C-alpha cells in the first residue's frame, strides 16, 4: 500500500494523486472540489509491533503502588509448609484453606461418625479408618492429618449423594473443594515421617481421582511415581507409589531390629497393629486396582507382601475390637487355604473375613488384566500346544483354577445369583457381596 499523501477521492478511484503537498490536488482542482483533504493511509501495525506495544503497557512501572505490590509479593511467595508446594497460592487460597479448616472443626461428631459409616458401607475396599480411634483424635485441636483424612472421606461421600439428611445439610462444599484441601495438606506431609492417617488419606484420594478419571494423580498417590533426586528413600526403589512407600517405611520401622530412621513412638494401643495391617492390605488392593488395565507393573505384588511378613488382614471383629489383631504371617506357598474357614462354616464368619477374601480376588484379577494388556493370546509363544486355553498347564487354565479355588473358599451364601444383593444389604454387607461376585464374574 502507498504511504504518500493522497486525497480520499483519488484513493477510492485507485489513481495517483498528483499534488504539491498541500490541497487541493490536481484532480480535485479540475473538478472544482473544495473539500479536498490530503492524508496518509492508516497502516495496521505488524504483530511484532503490536506485541511490543502491549508488553510495554503491561510492564509500565507504577511508582505510586510499588510498595504495596512488593509487600503482596512477599506475602504470596512466603512458604506455607516444609513439604513440596502446590500450584495454588495467594491470599485467596489461604483464606479458602482457613475457611475449610474452620468448617471441618465445626462439624458435629455425630455427623462425622455418620460420614464414616456411609464411607465404610459404600467402599468396602478401603475400610481402613477405625471409627473410635479417629473420633478420639478429632476435635478443636485436631491435627492436620486427621482433617485431611476427614476431607477425603467427605469428598468420597459427597460423590455418592448421601441419603442422610444430616450429611446433606452439613457437607456444604463440593467434592472438588474437599479433595483440593486434602491435596494441599498432604503435600506438606509426604516427606515427613510416615503416619498411618496420611497413608489412609492418600489411598482415599487415589480412589477419588481414579473415579474422576484423573489417572496420573491416582498413580502418583498410590501406584507409579518418578523418584525425586532429593528423596533418598524413594531412590531405594526405582518406581514406587507415595502411599505404598510410606506404608513400607512404617512397617519396616515396626519390625526391623535396626530401622534406618527412628520412628515416632505413639501411645501403646492394641488396635495399632490391626489398623496398620489393614492399611497395608488396602495399599495392596489399590495397587491392583490402579495397575489393572495398564502396561505398568504392580508396585506391591503378593510375593513382596510375603517377603515383608505382612500378617493376614484382620477380620472386621478383630479390626473393631483389637482381639487377635496380630494375625498370622502371609503363607509362603501358593496355597492360601489355611487362613480361611471351611466352606460349611458360618456365613457370618466369611462376611467377617470379607476384606481378606477381597484382597485375594484383586490379586487374581490384576494378574489376568496384566496378561490381557500384554497382548494376551496374541503374545509370542501363546499358540504353542501347551499354552492353549484347554491345556492344563496354560496360563488361562492356571488362572481359572486359582479363581475356582478362591470361589470354593467362600460360603455358598456369598455366591450370586443363588443369593440376592438385598439380603446381604440388610446385614450391612451389600457392597462387599457385590465386590466378591464382580471379581469372580469379570474373569
* C-alpha dihedral (108, 429, 439, 344), degrees to nearest 10: 150
Q: How far apart are CA 323 and CA 331, in angstroms?
A: 21
Nearest partner of 435 among 367, 365, 382, 384, judged by Cα: 365
Q: Which residues pair with 6 in a beta bridge?
A: 39
What is the pLDDT, as a whole number, of residue 149?
Answer: 92
Q: From CA 18, how far away is CA 36, in angstroms rounded?
A: 12
H helices, E strands: number in the chain: 22, 2
Question: For the packed helices 196-211 and 242-255, what is the interaxial angle rounded to 10 degrees?
Answer: 160
Give residues with Cβ within 8 angstroms of 93, minimum separation 6: none
Contact 350/357 with Cβ under 8 angstroms? yes
The pLDDT of residue 30: 84
Answer whether residue 348 shows pLDDT above 80: no
* CA–CA separation, 317 and 324 (whole Å): 9
Q: What digits encode the pLDDT tens for the residues 421-435?
A: 998 888 888 888 888
* 3-class SS of residue 128: coil
Q: Which of 78-87, 267-276, 344-353, 372-381 has the lowest mean pLDDT?
A: 78-87
pLDDT at 238: 30
* Residues 176-202 pLDDT 10s: 899 889 888 988 887 788 888 999 999
Tell me the pLDDT band of 19, cut-offs 50, 70 and 90.
confident
94-97's contacts with Cβ under 8 Å and 24+ in sequence apart are 97/181, 97/184
* Cell digits of residue 440: 469372580
pLDDT reported for residue 153: 92
Residue entry with cell 503497557: 57
6-37 CATH, one of 2.120.10, 1.10.260, 4.10.240, 1.10.3470? 4.10.240
39 membership: H or E segment, kind and range: strand 38-39
Residues of the chain with CATH 4.10.240: 6-37
Q: Give the span between the Cα atoms of 38 and 25, in whole angstroms.
A: 8
Q: Note the pLDDT tens digit of each residue in 352-376.
A: 888 888 899 988 888 888 888 777 7
For residues 196-209, give the mean pLDDT: 89
As a whole number, mean pLDDT of residues 230-234 equals 35
156-277-137 Cα angle (round to 5) = 60
Find out whether 292 and 369 touch, Cβ atoms under 8 Å.
yes
Give the other-Cβ count within 10 Å of 136's Cβ.
10
Q: Quick one: pLDDT band at residue 442, thresholds 50, 70, 90?
A: confident
- What are 33-84's pLDDT values in tens digits? 878 888 887 766 666 666 666 665 555 444 334 444 343 333 333 333 333 4
Report the pLDDT value the prediction gives residue 69, as an integer from 0 to 100: 37
Is the pLDDT at 18 greater than 80, yes or no?
A: yes
Assign 257 to helix, strand or coil. Answer: coil
Mean predicted confidence (pLDDT) in 146-150 = 91
Q: Report residue 261's pLDDT band, with 50, 70 and 90 as the boundaries.
A: low
Between CA 26 and CA 252 the distance in angstroms is 99
Average pLDDT over residues 142-150: 88
pLDDT at 295 over 70: no
Do the bridges between strand 38-39 and strand 6-7 make them parallel or antiparallel, or are there none, so unpaired?
antiparallel
For residue 152, the model assigns a pLDDT of 92
Q: What is the pLDDT of residue 246?
A: 79
Q: Does the pLDDT at position 158 exceed 60? A: yes
Confidence of residue 443 (pLDDT cuts 50, 70, 90): low
Amino acid at each position: 500500500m502507498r504511504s504518500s499523501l493522497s486525497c480520499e477521492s483519488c484513493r477510492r478511484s485507485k489513481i495517483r494523486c498528483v499534488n504539491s503537498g498541500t490541497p487541493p490536488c490536481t484532480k480535485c482542482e479540475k473538478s472544482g472540489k473544495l473539500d479536498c483533504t490530503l492524508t496518509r493511509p492508516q497502516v495496521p501495525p505488524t504483530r511484532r509491533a503490536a506485541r511490543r506495544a502491549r508488553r510495554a503497557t503491561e510492564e509500565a512501572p507504577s511508582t505510586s503502588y510499588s510498595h504495596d505490590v512488593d509487600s503482596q509479593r512477599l506475602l504470596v511467595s512466603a512458604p506455607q509448609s516444609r513439604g513440596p508446594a502446590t500450584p495454588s497460592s495467594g491470599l485467596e487460597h489461604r483464606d479458602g484453606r482457613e475457611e475449610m479448616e474452620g468448617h471441618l472443626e465445626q462439624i458435629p461428631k455425630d455427623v462425622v461418625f455418620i460420614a464414616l459409616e456411609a464411607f465404610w458401607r459404600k467402599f468396602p475396599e478401603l475400610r481402613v479408618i477405625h471409627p473410635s480411634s479417629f473420633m478420639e483424635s478429632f476435635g478443636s485441636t485436631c491435627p492436620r492429618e486427621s482433617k485431611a483424612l476427614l476431607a477425603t472421606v467427605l469428598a468420597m461421600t459427597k460423590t455418592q449423594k448421601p441419603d442422610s439428611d444430616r450429611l446433606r445439610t452439613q457437607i456444604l462444599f463440593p467434592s472438588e473443594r474437599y479433595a483440593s484441601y486434602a491435596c494441599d495438606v498432604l503435600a506438606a506431609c509426604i516427606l515427613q515421617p510416615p503416619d498411618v492417617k496420611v497413608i489412609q488419606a492418600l489411598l482415599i484420594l487415589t480412589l477419588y481421582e481414579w473415579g474422576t478419571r484423573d489417572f496420573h494423580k491416582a498413580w502418583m498417590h498410590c501406584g507409579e511415581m518418578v523418584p525425586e533426586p532429593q528423596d533418598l528413600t524413594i531412590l531405594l526403589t526405582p518406581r514406587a507409589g507415595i502411599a505404598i512407600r510410606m506404608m513400607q517405611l512404617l512397617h519396616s520401622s515396626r519390625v526391623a531390629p535396626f530401622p534406618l530412621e527412628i520412628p515416632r513412638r505413639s501411645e501403646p494401643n492394641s488396635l495399632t497393629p490391626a489398623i496398620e495391617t489393614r492399611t497395608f492390605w488396602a495399599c495392596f488392593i489399590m495397587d491392583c486396582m490402579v495397575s489393572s488395565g495398564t502396561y505398568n507393573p504392580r508396585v506391591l505384588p503378593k510375593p513382596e507382601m510375603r517377603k515383608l511378613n505382612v500378617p493376614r488382614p484382620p477380620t472386621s471383629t478383630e479390626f473393631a475390637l483389637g482381639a487377635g489383631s496380630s494375625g498370622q504371617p502371609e503363607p509362603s506357598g501358593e496355597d492360601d487355604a489355611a487362613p480361611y474357614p471351611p466352606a460349611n462354616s458360618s456365613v457370618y464368619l466369611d462376611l467377617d473375613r470379607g476384606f481378606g477374601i477381597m484382597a485375594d480376588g484383586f490379586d487374581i484379577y490384576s494378574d489376568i488384566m496384566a496378561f490381557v494388556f500384554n497382548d494376551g493370546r496374541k503374545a509370542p509363544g501363546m499358540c504353542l500346544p501347551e499354552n492353549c486355553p484347554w491345556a492344563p498347564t496354560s496360563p488361562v487354565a492356571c488362572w481359572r483354577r486359582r479363581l475356582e479355588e478362591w470361589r470354593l473358599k467362600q460360603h455358598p451364601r456369598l455366591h450370586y445369583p443363588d443369593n440376592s444383593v438385598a439380603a446381604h444389604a440388610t446385614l450391612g454387607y451389600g457392597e462387599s457381596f457385590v465386590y466378591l461376585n464382580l471379581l469372580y464374574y469379570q474373569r
